[in-house]
A and B are shown apart, each in its own frame.
Chain A
Amino acid sequence: MRTVVVYTWARDPGAATVRGDGSVEWRNQKLVAGEDDHAAVAVARQVAEADGGDLVGVTVGGGDASWALARGVPAAVQVADAAVVGDGTDQARTAAVLAAAVRAQGADVVVIGDAEEHAGVPAALAGHLGAPVLLGVSAATVSGGRVQVTRTVDGTEQTLEVAAPVVLAVAAAGPEEKAPGMKELLAARKRPVTSVPLADLDVPTTADVVATGTRLPDAGDARIFTGDPADTAAALVAALRAEGVL
């Protein structure tokens, strides 16, 4: 089985500054690893090790392809064009580009981070590949040629079994515990990165999504009580009783 892990496919929210008028300034358009990407790499390695098959990283845009190589992925493919996914708002477009790149690798198991800000990308990626998808995954392995997947939904831990091909979207349980050290970073430089031009991929078009502006969220319509603690506490308890939540 071939496992493909998709990483570094969205802009860095840390590069955005929100001004007082609600407009957003992007210091750069660079694509960086998302906060779930490290967990996606870990799950992809679990799958590849359990199966004994190979593992390839796929990344798009001008991001750092060696990011996954420093985390134990032996080789990567990069769709080179920097503006490949636009501003990322049309998640079907992002997914179509990723799907074209993944398809060219002939993947059996595709692993991607289940990023909150881009919640539609993993499912649309699976849609473009015509494969089933499991979202919110925490762990996966392979046994008897089938993929065993663990995830938690609504306070229940589910174990699922699925035949390849399948897309697994992994939600990180927290930040990466140990970033790669100098040794891993140097080793990553020696691992191969193959560059693929966007024009070589068959990417279907979707309807144009035109950004027309940003604003600050509406101020909440919270009822705020101020003043003497006894009065404010009594007012809150009365309000909560009226809501029927006590």
Chain B
Amino acid sequence: MSREAWALVAAPRQVAATVRTARTVADRVTVLAVGPREVADAASAAGPDRVLWAETADGRPAEALTVPVADAVAAAAPDLLLAAGDPAARALLGAAAARRGAALVSGMLALRADGDALSIDRTALDGEVVATVTVAGPVAVLVDGDDEPADAATPAPVEPLTGQVAPADLVLTATRAAEGGSGLYDAARVVSIGRGVKAKDDLALVEQLTAALDAELACSMPVADDLGWVPKDRYVGRSGQKIAPRLYLALGIAGMPQHMEGIRDAKVVAAVNTDPDAPVFRAADYGIVGDLYEVVPALVAALGS
């Protein structure tokens, strides 16, 4: 069967991964981009068949346009709807799924065509298992993807979304840098410590590495919360900071799901841990099985050479 997919995006991040996922099962891919021009441009560069653009204005966030977006989706009646997990894209997807009468599945890892149906692998139970479900009708998926660069693709034409595009009475009245984070959020490199660090005085050793890497210091929750060795605004995880550095280097961190959720968008994850079975190695790109008290000075030396 010929299958049509619509990807709903509200930020340049993860557009490429979302379009690539849609292409694995759909013959025709439309991106509905909501937001400033840069969102439409990123969508076009990802190489879908076409881009529909709903511009936001007057300080309105993308969430102000969920209803007109849902109307456009319902009129086109695509078989598959996709969005990344950022709050605005999720808002668009939920509204569209409800109007389309589609099922909605989150944490999507992979899609396969299964005859007329779609087979979906999704992460479940905090990442402990991959669950597979099959849906025979229209379905909306939240993509659990990385922020990948677009393939070299022919840019798609951008058309304005036509029809009734009346925004909801919803405005952004103020923004400010969130408390805490202390530069952590924008850092390109982050060195993060867990319970594998045995004493507060040992932070001096770690600081040599952060200096050599020009990195910010972060930690797992117990190091900030129970031990108080690092300010609380520097702990990374579900209830703490969520960051997207180019390099995240985890020292003596076991890698529980609550922690790993905070670095889902990191580009490269490296880990040092004495336990070869530590969960952190399953999510890492690189690992050293070893004692951080030996490995950290060796890393400082290797970086200096």
Contact = CB atoms under 8 A, between A and B. Distances in A.
Interface of A: 13, 16, 18, 22, 24, 89-93, 95-96, 99, 116-128, 130, 132-136, 148, 151-163, 166, 172-175, 204-220, 222-226, 229-230, 232-234, 236-237, 239-240, 243, 245-246
Contacts of B66: 123, 126-127, 132-133
Nearest to A206: B103
Contact of B281 (A92, A156, A159, A224): A224
Nearest to A210: B134
For chain A, what secondary structure do more than half of its interface residues adopt (helix, strand, loop), or is it mixed?
mixed
B250 to A, nearest CB: 12
B268 interface: yes
A138 to B, nearest CB: 10
A124 B91 CA distance: 8
B242 to A, nearest CB: 8
Between B135, B189, B267, the greatest number of chain A beta carbons within 10 A of the residue's beta carbon is seen for B135
Contacts of B90: 119-120, 123, 135
Contacts of B136: 207-208, 210
A246 B209 CA distance: 12
Given A133-B63, A159-B173, A91 B106 contact: yes
B104 A92 contact: yes
Given A240-B247, A246-B247, A132 B168 contact: yes
Interface stretch (B16-24, B31-39, B284-292): B284-292
B171 interface: yes
B298 A233 contact: yes
Interface string B70-87: 100000000000000111
B160 interface: no
A236 B268 contact: no
B284 A220 contact: yes
Nearest to A205: B101
Given A155-B186, A209-B105, A214-B132, A232 B295 contact: yes
A133 B172 contact: no
A125 B94 contact: yes
B95 interface: yes
Contact of B290 (A132, A133, A174, A232): A232
B93 A120 contact: yes
A16 to B, nearest CB: 6
B98 A124 contact: yes
Contacts of B97: 92, 120, 124, 127
Given A156-B176, A160-B170, A240-B286, 15 more contacts: A13-B125, A126-B66, A156-B178, A157-B175, A158-B61, A158-B175, A160-B173, A204-B101, A217-B282, A226-B288, A226-B289, A233-B288, A236-B270, A237-B303, A243-B285
